Amino acid sequence: MQYQYKEFEIDSGKSTARKKTILRPMIPVIILHNKQYVMYEALLDSGSDFNIFPSEIADILGLSLSKGKRKTISGIGKGTIKGYEHEVTFRIGNKTIITKAIFSTGFPSHAFGALGNDGFFSHFRILFNYNDRTIEIN
């Protein structure tokens, strides 16, 4: 399966109002639990240990957030956030995997749901080609 990097316009970080375009490895994923599903554009994040999403996704899937295994996560937002791990199914292209994802009410509003090492990268061979703006997943 091959995907294209997505362009995002961000502030340049300087005192001017100029914007800068960056590329991010985003892919469409269908997240399923029982008969409920969500179509979501997730960030492929090799720096993320886990799959993590905002709690609103768990609500749509009918998951009782606090019935999951409690986890504390750092590296997203400031300090740490608490989340709950649940078993879900991901469908990417023609592939389906059963895995775990963490859902959090403390998920920063500016952040993207992330597909991480344990639970996504561990199921696939992923090739990032920034120059060609492509991501290949096998």
- CATH number of the domain encompassing residue 131: 2.40.70.10
Count: domains in the chain:
1
Q: Give just the sign of the alpha carbon dihedral 11, 12, 16, 17.
A: negative
Write the pLDDT tens digit of every residue in 2-41. Answer: 999 999 988 766 666 678 899 999 999 999 999 999 999 9
3-state DSSP percent of the chain in helix, strand and coil, to 5: 10, 55, 35
Write the pLDDT tens digit of every residue in 71-125. Answer: 988 877 677 889 999 999 999 999 999 999 999 998 888 889 999 999 999 999 9
Whole domain around residue 34: which residue ranges?
A: 2-137
Average pLDDT, the chain: 92
- What is the pTM for the complete model shown? 0.90
Q: Find tokens 């956030």 and name the residue.
A: 81
Token pair recorded at residue 120: 């996504």
